[in-house]
Structure 1
Amino acid sequence: MSSTKPSINTALTEWTGALGLPDFTAFNDDDFAAAFDAALAGDLADIEAVVNQHDVPTIENTLKALQLSGKDLDRVSAIFWLRAGAHTNEAIQALERVIAPKMSRHSSSIMMNPLLFARIDSLYEQRDLLGLDPETNRVLEKTWKGFVRSGARLDEQGKARLADINERLASLGAQFGQNVQKDEADWALFITDETELAGLPDFVRDSMRGAAEERDRPDAWAVTLSRSIIEPFLSFSENRSLREKSFRAWAARGENGGETDNTDIVAEMVKLRAEKANLLGYKSFAAYKLDDTMAKTPKAVMDLLEPVWDKAKARAAEEETDLQRLITGEGRNHKVEPWDWRYYAEKLRNERFAFDEAELKPYLQLEKVIEACFDVATRLFGITFEEKQGIPTWHPDVRVWEVFNADGSERGLFLGDYFNRQSKRSGAWMSALQSQHKLDGEHKPIIYNVMNFAKPPKGEPALLSLDGAKTLFHEFGHALHGLLSDVTWPAVSGTSVSRDFVELPSQLYEHWLTVPAILEKYAIHYRTGEAMPKALLDKVLAANTFNAGFNTVEFTSSALVDMAFHADGTPPVDPIKFEADTLRQLEMPDAIIMRHRTPHFTHVFSGDGYSAGYYSYMWSEVLDADAFKAFEETGDVFNSDLAAKLRQYIYSAGGSRDPEDLYKAFRGKMPTPDAMIEKRGL
C-alpha cells in the first residue's frame, strides 16, 4: 500500500497487534472505505503485473502470483466481514451494502479477464507435462474450473450480463441478511407480570432478564428471537398465548412487510440465479452449484433426501400422536400446533426418560464444554490451548487462545465469541482472519468461532442446552479443520473444500461430546461441583434419538424447499406461495414448520454459500456417522492410529485432494446412508 496516501489507515492491512492479530484499537469504522478502495486498486495492479509480463506462463509467474495477489484486500476484507457478522452497526451495514456489489464487480473483472484466463488455460492444457505434485495439480484444476464457472469463456455480452447478475445478487444477499438481523434485533416481548413466567426454569428467566436489561428494560423479562431464548421459552412456558405470539414472530422474520420484508428479494434472487446458470450452460442453478460437489447432480441429492423424508414423516406422525395424548390428558381439546410441539415434547421426554432439559442444563456450563472441546482435540491430535488475557479484539466478550503442537511449537490462534448481542447476526459459525498456507513462507491460521448463547447475569456461569453444547462442538470441529490445515496453497487451505464435504469435520466432532468419558469429566453441576449422576447420563444417552421425527422433518423440509427453488428452470414469482405449495406436495405435517423458512433462510439467501446446498449437512452426516463408527469398531473412540489417519486425510488435507479420495484414504470405502439413518433413530 502506498505511503503517499496518509488517509489510508494501514492498521487494517499491516497487523501489529499481539500474537499477529490486527490491532483492533488502531482503526475505526470510518477507515474501512478508503482502505477497501486502496486494496482493490492494489489487487488489480497485482493482476495487471501477472497479465502484462512477456514470459511464457509458468506455475511460478502465473498460478502462484495469482494466489498471492491482493494481500491487503484479503486482510481488510477479513476484518470487515468479521465485523459485519459479529459486531455490526448502521455504519458497517451501510458500507456492506456498498462493498458487497463492489467486491462482486471486482471479482468479475478478474475472473473474466481474457489475458489472465489465457495464461491459466495454457497451464491447464499442458498440466500433464508439467510434472506437478498432486496438490499443485489440484489447485490448477480448481483455478481453471473457477474461471470457467465465473464466465471466462462467455462472449463479451455474456460476460457483461453475468457481471451485472453477480453484482445484483451480492447486493440482494447483503440486504437479505441485514433485514433478518434487524427483525431479530428489533422484536422483543416484554413480560412484567411474574405469573406469566409460569413453567420457566431459572436459567430461562435469567437469560430473559439479561436480554431485557440489554434493551434498557430492567423492570421486565424479555422473550427475544435469539434461538438461545426463544427455544427454551417455547419448551417450558405454560402460557400458550405467549408461546403462540412469540412463535409467530420467530416464524415471520423477514416477512413482516415494509423495508425489512425479504419476499421480493428472494423472488429476484431465484430468478437471477436461474439466468446465471443458463448463461453458463446449465439447466438449473442447482445443476450449476452441484457440478462442483460430491453429489454432482440434483438427482443424487434427491435420492438421499426423499427416503429420509418419508421415514421422518412417519416418525413425526407417531410423535404427534404421543403429544396429542398429553394435551388430551390435560383436559384440553386443541390439536398440536407448532408453538405447542416443544412444550409437550419436553413433557414427553420427562415422562419417557424421567428428565428434561432443565435438569440437564446445570451440568452443561459453557466453560466446561469449552474445556471438553479442547480435551478431545488434545486426546485425538495432541494439540493444546493456552488462553491469553487482555488482548483487544472486536468486542470485550471475545476470548483468545494460543494453540500449540504436541512438540510445543506454535500451531495458530483460536478466538471464541460466545454470547448473543443485538449487534450480532443469529446462528453460529466459524471463519478465519488468516488461513494456513506455506506458499511464500509459513502462515499460521487465525481461526474464530461465533455463537449466540444467552449471556448470564454477572457472576453466574453460562449454562447450555444439549443442543447448544453440540453446536459448540460442531463449530469447534470447523475450527479444527482450519487450525490443523497443513497445505502449501491457500486455495485449498482448511475449509476450502466442496460444500457437501465441509460439514464432515464439524459434524463428526459432535460425536465426542456424548462419549461417557467426556461427559463424566466435564458435565459438572455449576452449584455443587458434582459430576452428572450416572443415572442421568444413561438417560441422556438413551434419549439421544428422542424427537427424531420432528428434528428430521424440520431439517429435511428446509433442504427440499431449497432444492425446489433452484432445481426448476422456471423460478417462482411468489416465493411464499411456492414454499407453501412445495410443502403441501411434500405433505408437510401441520404441527411442524421448516427449520429455516424462506424469508429468513440466511444459509441460502444471505449470500451464495448454501444455496442449492442445504442438503450438504445430511450428505456430510452420512460420512460422519460412518467415520465415528470406525472409531467405535476399534473399541476405543480415541484410537491413536485412527486419529492419525483422521488428522492426515480429513482435518489437515483441506481441499488438496478430491474429497471422495480423502474419505476412502481414511475409511477404505464410501459409506451408505444406513449408519446416518440409524444414528438419527429413523
Structure 2
Amino acid sequence: MSNPFLEPSTLPYQLPPFDRIEDGHYLPAFEAGFAEQLAEIGAITANPEPADFENTITALERSGQVLQRVAAAFHNRSSADSTAAIQEIETHIAPRLAEHSDNIHLNRALFERLKAVPADGLDAEPARLLAEYRRRFTAAGAELDDAAQARLRELNAELSELSTEYQQRLLRDTNASALLLDTAAELDGLPADDIAAAEAAAEAAGHPGRYLLTLILPTSQPAMALLTDRAVRRRLYELSVNRGFREGPDNTLELAARMAALRADRAALLGFDTYAAAATDDQTAPSLGAIRERLAALAGPAVRNARAEAAELEADAGHPLEPWDWAFHSERVRRSKYDVDLAALRPYFELDRVLKDGIFFAAGQLYGLRFTERPDLTGYHPEVRVWEVFNEDGSGLGLFLGDYYTRDTKNGGAWMNSFVEQSALQGTRAVVVNNLNIPKPPPGEPTLLSFDEVVTAFHEFGHALHGLFSNVTYPTFSGTSVPRDFVEYPSQVNEMWMLWPEVVANYARHHETGEALPQEVIDRVTAASTWGEGFATTEYLGATLLDLAWHSLPPGTTVEDPAAFEQQALQEAGVDFALVPPRYRTGYFKHIFAGGYAAAYYAYIWSEVLDADTVEWFKSSGGLTRANGDTFRTELLSRGNSIDPLQAFRNFRGRDAELEPLLKRRGLA
C-alpha cells in the first residue's frame, strides 16, 4: 500500500486519512519529507536569479509539504495515543527533526539569500514575513561561526532526545502512580458515576473488583475535594506530587536538570545571559525584567490571600491543615459561605450537551457558526469525533475533532493541535483537534463533567476557534502561531461564555430530569468566583517562578540536587507556602520540559491581562452578539501572527490592555 502521507489527502479539508495510516508509514514519510524539503531549499539557493520575495520567501513557505503532513499527524498521535510502537518512532525521529531544522536554519547560502531579498515595496504581511524569517534564522544561530554552529547542533540533538525521554517517563510514571483501592467505602464522598468510572478503570487495568483513581497532570487531583477519608486523600496527594521524583527508571529530575543546563549553554552560544532571556526575547512582554516585576508584584498579595484562606480552612477542619486537606475543606467552606457545591453541579454537565448546546451554541450565537457531525470521517482513535464547521453563509470553515477521554496512552492535560493550517497561499482551511482527559464512564452511562472540566472544554475550544478563524496568506502566520504569551489569550476569553446567561440556560440541564440549572445557583457560583483565588494564584505563580528559576541558570551550571533547587527557588521567590505546592513540580512539569513552554509558563497570566480586559469589553458592549463576535473575529482571531499581536489587540480594543480587571478577578485589587 502506498504511503498516505506522500500525497495531499483527498478527504474534506485534507483531513489525514487515518483509516489508511499505519505505524509503519511514519518513519518513511519523515525521511521522504526531510529529503523533499532539503531538495526544495537546494533549488532556492541554486537559483541564478537575484533573490526576491517570490523565489525565496514564497518558495520557502511552499516547501516541506510532506513533512508538514506527517509531523502534524504524528505529533498529535504521540501525545494522544502514545503506544510502545509510537514511542519507539518518537525516540528515533526527535533528533532527526532537530537535525533537519538545523540543516535549514544553519544553511549559510539560504541565510545570505534571505538577507538579499529586497524589502522595498512589500505589503504589510509579506514585509512582516521577511522580517520574521530573518529573525528566526538569526535566533537559530545562522550568524554563528562553524565551531559554534557545530556545538549548537550537538545541543539541539541532545535536548530533543531528553525532552522525548522526559515525556515518555512521565507518562509511564503517571500511569504507575494511579491509586488502586480495594473497596468502594474508601471512595466515600465521590458521586456514583465517579465510583463506577474508577471501577471500570481498575477492570481495564487488570484489577477486577477494585477501584483505580488515575492522575491528571497538575498537582491537585479532583477527587481530593470530595474524598472524606483523609488517609486516602493523603495517598492520592503523595502519589501526585512524587511523580518523577522516585528513584528508578522513570525518575525525570535528572533529565530536567540536564535540559536546563544545556539550554543555558545554548543561550550563551546565541549571546544571551540565560535561556529565559533568549526565550522571552521575541514575546509580547517588553522584557524579561518586566515579566519578573509583574510576577513579583503578584506573589506577595497572592500568598497573603492563600494564608488567609488557610486560616479559614483550618478552622473548618478543627485540626492542623495539610496539603491533602486543602481542596476538601475549601469545598466545605465554599458551601457554607456561598451555598455552592460544585460537585453537585456535575449531573447538569453531560458531555454532549456541554459540547452541542453550550460550546457550539455560544459559537453559533457569537460568530454564526454551525456544526455538523461527520461520522463518515475517521479519527486517529475510535473515540475521536469529527465535526464540519460552517460559516453563517453556509460556506465551509474547516473541521473540528474532539478527543475527550483519558487513556493510558494519552498524555495528561488538555491541548489543541492543528492537522492542517489555514493558508491562502496553499489553499488550505483549518483542521484542528481538542484533547481532554475526562474519565470514561462504564458503557451506557452518561459522561458527566466536573465544573473545572467544563471550563477546560470551553478554554480549549477557544484555541480551536483561533485556528479555525485564521485568515492569513502565509502558513507561518496561521492561527495559533503567535507568541507564547499571547496564544492563551483567545482561549481564556472563550471561558467567559460557560456561565453566560443564554449559554448556561441552553446546556446546563440535569441529565435525567432535563431540569435547568437554577439561576440562583449560577448567581451563587458567580458570587463565589473569587473564593480560592489565593490558592489558585499561588500555585500558578509557584510553577511560573520555578520555570524561570530553572531557565535562569548561568551557562556551565550543573544542578546536582533538583529537589533542593526547587525548594530554594520557591523560597527565594516568596512562594514557598507548604500548604500550596506549585501547580507543577519539576518531576511532572511537562509544559516546560516536554511541551514548548520553557521560560514561558508566565504566558498564562500575561495573556490573562488581555483576557480580563476583553471580558469587560464584551460585558459593556452587549455581550453575546453577532456584532461583537464579528469584531473580535475580524480584528483579532483571524489575524494569526500576520500583524503584531498587541497591535491586533489595540485595533480591537482601541487602546492597550489595563491591569485592573485581572487584579479584580483574582481578588488582588
Deviations 1:627-656 (A, max 9, x none): 11011112x112443322211121100000
CA shift for structure 1 position 228: 10
State whether residues 16 and 419 of structure 2, in contact with CA within 8 Å, keep that contact through their aligned partners in structure 1.
Answer: no
- List aligned pairs for 1:352-363, cutoff 5 A: 352-363=337-348
Aligned to 2:279: 289
State whether residues 223 and 230 of structure 1, in contact with CA within 8 Å, keep that contact through their aligned partners in structure 2.
Answer: no
- List aligned pairs for 1:253-332, cutoff 5 A: 253-328=243-318
Q: Quick check: 1:430 aligned with 2:416?
A: yes
- 1: CA distance, partners of 2:570 / 2:469: 41
Aligned to 2:129: 139
Q: 2:601 aligns with which of 614, 617, 624?
A: 614
CA shift for structure 1 position 206: 2.2
| SS of residue paired to 1:443 | coil
State whether residues 219 and 585 of structure 2, in contact with CA within 8 Å, keep that contact through their aligned partners in structure 1.
Answer: no
Q: One-letter code of the match for 1:353?
A: Y
Q: Quick check: 1:594 aligned with 2:582?
A: yes
Q: Quick check: 1:167 aligned with 2:168?
A: no
Structure 1 window deviating more from structure 2 (520-529 vs 428-437): it is: 520-529
- List aligned pairs for 1:48-87, cutoff 5 A: 48-87=42-81
- 2: CA distance, partners of 1:624 / 1:527: 35
Aligned to 2:323: 338
State whether residues 218 and 583 of structure 2, in contact with CA within 8 Å, keep that contact through their aligned partners in structure 1.
Answer: no
CA shift for structure 1 position 484: 0.3
- 1: CA distance, partners of 2:407 / 2:381: 11
Aligned to 1:450: 435
- List aligned pairs for 1:515-530, cutoff 5 A: 515-530=500-515
Q: Quick check: 1:439 aligned with 2:429?
A: no
Aligned to 2:369: 383
Deviations 1:7-47 (A, max 9, x none): x6235644244663222222311221222112111111111
State whether residues 286 and 298 of structure 1, in contact with CA within 8 Å, keep that contact through their aligned partners in structure 2.
Answer: yes
CA shift for structure 1 position 156: 0.5
- List aligned pairs for 1:91-170, cutoff 5 A: 91-123=85-117, 126-127=118-119, 129=120, 131-170=121-160
- 1: CA distance, partners of 2:189 / 2:143: 62
Q: One-letter code of the match for 1:341?
A: W
State whether residues 24 and 394 of structure 1, in contact with CA within 8 Å, keep that contact through their aligned partners in structure 2.
Answer: yes
Q: 1:495 aligns with which of 480, 497, 506?
A: 480
Aligned to 1:3: none
| SS of residue paired to 2:156 | helix
Aligned to 1:605: 593
CA shift for structure 1 position 229: 12
Q: 2:456 aligns with which of 467, 471, 487?
A: 471
State whether residues 435 and 482 of structure 1, in contact with CA within 8 Å, keep that contact through their aligned partners in structure 2.
Answer: yes
| SS of residue paired to 1:34 | helix
Q: Quick check: 1:624 aligned with 2:614?
A: no
Q: Quick check: 1:46 aligned with 2:40?
A: yes
CA shift for structure 1 position 280: 0.7
Query: How many percent identity over aligned positions?
Result: 38
Aligned to 2:386: 400
- 2: CA distance, partners of 1:42 / 1:248: 49
- 1: CA distance, partners of 2:547 / 2:183: 41
Structure 2 unaligned regions, length at least 5: none
Aligned to 1:211: 201
| SS of residue paired to 1:259 | coil
Q: 1:9 aligns with which of 3, 10, 25?
A: 3
CA change 1:167–1:31 in 2 (3 A) is: same
Q: One-letter code of the match for 2:322?
A: E
Alignment TM-score, normalising by the size of structure 1: 0.95
State whether residues 604 and 610 of structure 1, in contact with CA within 8 Å, keep that contact through their aligned partners in structure 2.
Answer: yes
Aligned to 1:661: 647
Aligned to 1:31: 25
- 2: CA distance, partners of 1:53 / 1:194: 71
Structure 1 window deviating more from structure 2 (147-156 vs 391-400): it is: 391-400
Aligned to 2:242: 252
CA shift for structure 1 position 269: 0.7
Q: Aligned-residue CA RMSD in angstroms? A: 1.6
State whether residues 567 and 576 of structure 2, in contact with CA within 8 Å, keep that contact through their aligned partners in structure 1.
Answer: no
- 1: CA distance, partners of 2:533 / 2:554: 34
Aligned to 2:631: 645
Stretches of 4+ aligned residues off by more than 4 angstroms: 227-230
Deviations 1:203-237 (A, max 9, x none): 32122122112212231111121369972321111
State whether residues 405 and 438 of structure 2, in contact with CA within 8 Å, keep that contact through their aligned partners in structure 1.
Answer: yes
Aligned to 2:562: 575
Structure 1 window deviating more from structure 2 (367-376 vs 482-491): it is: 367-376
Q: 1:562 aligns with which of 538, 542, 547?
A: 547
Q: 2:84 aligns with which of 84, 90, 93?
A: 90
State whether residues 13 and 75 of structure 1, in contact with CA within 8 Å, keep that contact through their aligned partners in structure 2.
Answer: no
Structure 1 window deviating more from structure 2 (179-188 vs 521-530): it is: 179-188
CA shift for structure 1 position 192: 2.3
Aligned to 1:419: 405
CA change 1:385–1:304 in 2 (3 A) is: same
- 1: CA distance, partners of 2:422 / 2:502: 32
| SS of residue paired to 1:501 | helix
Alignment TM-score, normalising by the size of structure 2: 0.97
State whether residues 365 and 463 of structure 1, in contact with CA within 8 Å, keep that contact through their aligned partners in structure 2.
Answer: yes
State whether residues 572 and 578 of structure 1, in contact with CA within 8 Å, keep that contact through their aligned partners in structure 2.
Answer: no
CA shift for structure 1 position 391: 2.4
| SS of residue paired to 1:594 | coil
- 2: CA distance, partners of 1:115 / 1:538: 63
- 1: CA distance, partners of 2:536 / 2:216: 19
| SS of residue paired to 1:430 | strand
Q: One-letter code of the match for 2:191?
A: P
- 1: CA distance, partners of 2:151 / 2:196: 53
State whether residues 492 and 611 of structure 2, in contact with CA within 8 Å, keep that contact through their aligned partners in structure 1.
Answer: yes
CA change 1:640–1:9 in 2 (3 A) is: closer
